[in-house]
Chain A
């Protein structure tokens, strides 16, 4: 997994890239928590994410849940339809009820 973070005026965009599997571990969750502390809104850009599984987004799930509970805004954007489908099957989107915008193409 690679990433880039752009921050401005309490808003952050996290550009994620690559495969989110077990190897990602706690890194993704820690990144989201850290960025979430500094900002009010966090956009997770999934354009370059080609693979996700339950262990890869496990820490992201709990980090996002905590941020939402503390009143922050978290959103997933530009996610490929086939990757979004995996999040749906995992119950990720249903459990978090966050806004998800698929990639237009």
Chain B
């Protein structure tokens, strides 16, 4: 009946992807995964197939009735998505579930408590816009100014810990009951003197070692060689941001893994270390220019030469490593390729270290999954080659650089072959 009946046999059909409204970021799940949709208001369960994934929505196919509402979908034992469906289009068996949130079990309770708190908070809060909404004879300019001031206050309310001082010639006068951590004094003196010399405010972040806290420090020059200093404790904010980034990383990791059938794995530093620890390094090649690529290919041939690998399979693995190594020259500054062999696990691991700026989380799906020959010497095409020709691709990216691990399973460890 509908195009989606052809899925997954017809790779050219993109009906399910366009329905997600996520542009190029949507990916087909091939083969489709069996899932269950739990209707959150009735508790009834619907069997379905997960056929398309994007950051904002899932595409599911079900022959059962699926009334509009909120559903919970379990993708893994500890990884669930809550989403909502809208009225089914034209009686199609294909259904788009808009992702509302992604949950891991231990988080569910925390999230519920937080939500209740926010709900309560919102109903008791005075919106700055409401104050100025009252028609009065205030001029537009004045209204704008009041709104700006209220907005500032609103921000200040969110900050738990703000310390203010008046500074004069190295003497601090606190505006409130707190003190300045001694370890900060030399730095704050330096900033205050510079602000006075330049006659302009300066902002800097300082670590108060004595308190083990991080402060956002604002220094404003005042008349008579004095300064106003505001120190905002941002330690918790940084911690929260880090936690959020970790969660986002985990979400990407799971989605990329599902979409690539467990072939693409995102690695944290520790996991990469553990992997390398379990293998023996056989060769290292530093890459600075295009001529070094031939040395990389030669090194892999030498390390794997003793293993019984079909020539085409070996060539294709070398192409995959070569693509990763090429990226270090195109996108990075310099690179390094380490060839490892784990005889215990019967696997060859090639780690390509690219000291470029790294790939940011938001770029990940585009960089790793966009197929084909999209741009000149594109990363997209390179990654497609890596995913096709390596048995597993692992990616570790930070501002320090990108590390790509390419694995090839080997039937027979090199040492055995040499003995015989």
Give me the interface of A with B, judged by CB distance under 8 Å. Answer: 19, 21-23, 25, 50-55, 58, 61-62, 81-82, 85-86, 89-92, 94-95
Interface centre among A51, A55, A81, A82 (most CB of B within 10 A): A55
- B interface majority secondary structure: helix
Interface size on B, residues (CB 8 A): 28
Nearest CB in chain B: distance from A57 CB, A? 9
A94 touches B372 (CB 8 A): yes
Complex CA gap A21/B238 in Å reads 44
A54 & B297 in contact (Cβ 8 Å cutoff): no
A95 to chain B, nearest CB (A): 5
B58 within 8 A of A: no
Are B376's CB and A62's CB within 8 A?
yes
B290 contacts the other chain (CB 8 A)? yes
CB distance from B391 to the nearest CB of A (A): 15
Within 8 A of A (CB), among B347-385: 371-373, 376-378, 381-382, 384-385
Residues on B with C-beta less than 8 A from A82 are 311-312, 315-316
**Binding stretch for chain A, among B110-118, B220-228, B252-260, B321-329:** B321-329
Q: Give, as a whole number of angstroms, the nearest-CB distance from A65 to chain B.
A: 10
Contacting pair A51 B323 (CB below 8 A): no
B326 touches which of A22, A81, A85 (Cβ 8 Å): A22
Partner of B323 from the list A25, A54, A81 (CB cut-off 8 Å) is A54
A89 CA to B389 CA in the complex, in Å? 9
Cβ–Cβ contact B389 & A23, under 8 A: no
Residue B1 interfacial (CB < 8 Å): no
Given A22-B290, A85-B312, answer yes or no on A53-B326 (Cβ-Cβ < 8 Å). Answer: yes
| Contact call A54/B385, Cβ cutoff below 8 A | yes
Contact between chains at B319 and A91 (CB < 8 Å): no
B interface vs A, CB < 8 Å? 290-291, 293-294, 297, 311-312, 315-316, 318-319, 322-323, 326, 329-330, 371-373, 376-378, 381-382, 384-385, 388-389
**Chain A, residue nearest B310 (CB):** A82
- Pick the contact of A51 from B319, B381, B384 — CB < 8 Å? B319
Query: Could you name 18 residue pairs across A and B whose Cβ atoms are closer than 8 Å?
Result: A19-B294, A19-B297, A23-B290, A23-B294, A53-B319, A54-B373, A54-B377, A55-B330, A61-B373, A82-B311, A82-B316, A85-B312, A86-B316, A89-B384, A89-B385, A89-B388, A94-B372, A95-B372
If the complex has contacts A53-B322, A54-B326, A89-B389, are A81 and B312 also in contact, measured as CB distance less than 8 A?
yes
CB contacts (< 8 Å) of B294 on chain A: these are 19, 21, 23
Shortest Cβ distance from A53 into B: residue: B322
Hey, which chain A residues are within 8 Å of B297, CB to CB? 19, 51
Q: Are A91 and B290 interface neighbours, CB within 8 A?
A: no
**Given A91-B384, A95-B372, residue A53 in contact with residue B323 (CB < 8 A):** yes
Determine if A54 and B381 form an interchain contact, defined as CB atoms under 8 angstroms apart.
yes
Contact A23 B330 (CB under 8 A): no
A90: chain B residues at CB < 8 Å are 372-373, 381, 384-385
With A and B bound together, what is the CA distance between A90 and B377 in angstroms?
Answer: 10
Closest to A61 in B: B373
Which chain B residues border A89 with CB–CB below 8 Å? 384-385, 388-389
Alpha-carbon distance between A23 and B373 when the two chains are bound, in angstroms: 19
A1 CA to B288 CA, complexed, in Å: 20
A25 to B326, alpha carbons, bound, how many Å? 12
Give the contacting residue for B315; candidates A23, A51, A55, A92; CB below 8 A: A51
